[in-house]
Structure 1
Amino acid sequence: MPSIYDLKPRFVALLRPLAARLAQGGVTANGMTLAAMADSMIVGLVLAIWPEVTWLWLLLPLFLFIRMAANAIDGILAREFGMKSRLGAILNEVGDVVSDAALYLPFALLPGVTPFWVILAVVIAVIGEMTGILGQVVGASRRYDGPMGKSDRAAIFGILGLAIGIGAPIGGWIDWIMAAICLLGLVTILNRARQALKEAAG
């Protein structure tokens, strides 16, 4: 199924010159990964402490874009500048899960939002990423199949943050979006498992 992740090669191409300058300046792939994770936790903490301050939610779409760029740059640094490592692979996967949880769980603290759906969406997202990683365990590649991969979640949560930040009423409509994210997340888990098994068998 299609995913925003399919656009990543073009995004990476745009960031390659910046990655080269960062490498020349001594920036490492693991350093970028750790910085993105730490900054995600800071932004998530700010939103969790002051969820009722609606303009702060404008930080979310802005930071999600920055984080997406940082993730792409750390990949370029690892692949193209000799910084690939086993530690980096672990940090990359763990960092994504920790960052997602830190940035998305504050939605559960919004007035009128049912925490159950937000927490379930995050749990399903973690299982989805784990399923993608398990592709390598069964002899396939790391699976990024959609329709609700990391980039797709970032786009939806970023739009939600933007809507809240510009004054959209907070309420039960967010529950319906979270429920849809959960459903699409379950479809993603099935797609990744099926495609991993198909690739391994082939």
Structure 2
Amino acid sequence: MNGLYALKPWYAETLSGVRAALVRREVSPDALTLAGVVCAAGAAAALALLPFGWSAPPVAVLLAARLAFANLDGALARDTGRTSRRGALLNELGDRAADLVVLAGFLPLAPLWLVATAGLAATLPSWVSLAGAAAGAGRLNGGPVGKTERCALVVLAAASGWCTPILVTVAAGSALTACLRLARLWRELAADAPAEAAVPGGVR
């Protein structure tokens, strides 16, 4: 179920030198979160304004940077002892904003209802994971169409011009990912539920 998220440990190791440099320069983790949103906005602008094919390289570079910042902000906070509830809130809001901003790049290229549907569906896996974490379960990531896969699909759209099929795939794949996460959380939380105590006489 992890999909491309399974590559995260390798990716984090690849970025270890960058992370060390950021620690030395005392860069704020919050600044990296905001930088990820800016990169998402740049990718959306390139997708919307440049011809298909020509837009693929800048979209790919900017979305790779967006994923790097998403990886680095939390790691930098842990490395520097600057983890906080406010930072966790900003991180989640930044991730959701970046998801929606990227898909906004399709607005000139596809029907509004389809872009809106894909945007709503893209947020569902994260809301399910956050709900599970609030209930005491582990935070789930990855999936058939998680954050990394969505970025890859946007790059494919920039290269090919297949905007409608890509948005349909994002919407359907994200909904499937949310359902799979929910099913896994449901099983996990059911296993942890305390057994109901029997009351004499069959009265509960």
Q: Is the TM value for this pair above 0.5?
A: yes
- Between the two proteins, what is the percent identity of the paired residues? 29
Q: CA deviation at 1:54?
A: 6.1
Q: Deviations over 1:117-174 (max 9, x none)?
A: 222111101122111111111210221141111111111112222x1xxxx4x4xx43
Could you tell me which residue of structure 1 aligns to residue 19 of structure 2? 19
Structure 2 residue 71 is matched with structure 1 residue 72: yes
Work out the number of aligned pairs and report it. Answer: 191
Please identify, of 78-87 and 7-16, the stretch whose mean Cα deviation from structure 2 is larger: 78-87
Contact 2:144 2:177 in 1 (8 A): yes
Structure 1 residues 145 and 94, CA, compared in 2 at 3 Å: closer, same or farther?
same
Separation of aligned partners in 2, 1:53 and 1:149: 24
Could you tell me which residue of structure 1 aligns to residue 128 of structure 2? 131
TM-score, normalization by structure 1: 0.85
Q: Which residues of structure 2 form unaligned runs of 5+?
A: 192-204
Correspondent of 2:118 among 121, 126, 144 = 121
* Rg larger in structure: 2
Segments ≥4 residues shifted beyond 3 Å = 45-48, 51-54
Could you tell me which residue of structure 2 aligns to residue 184 of structure 1? 173
Separation of aligned partners in 2, 1:58 and 1:5: 22
Cα RMSD after superposing both structures: 2.0
Contact 1:78 1:84 in 2 (8 A): yes
Separation of aligned partners in 2, 1:29 and 1:52: 34
TM-score, normalization by structure 2: 0.84
Separation of aligned partners in 2, 1:47 and 1:158: 9
Q: CA deviation at 1:52?
A: 5.3
Could you tell me which residue of structure 1 aligns to residue 199 of structure 2? none
Q: Which residues of structure 1 form unaligned runs of 5+?
A: none
Could you tell me which residue of structure 2 aligns to residue 29 of structure 1? 29
Amino acid at match of 1:89: A
Separation of aligned partners in 2, 1:174 and 1:40: 17
Please identify, of 75-84 and 19-28, the stretch whose mean Cα deviation from structure 2 is larger: 75-84
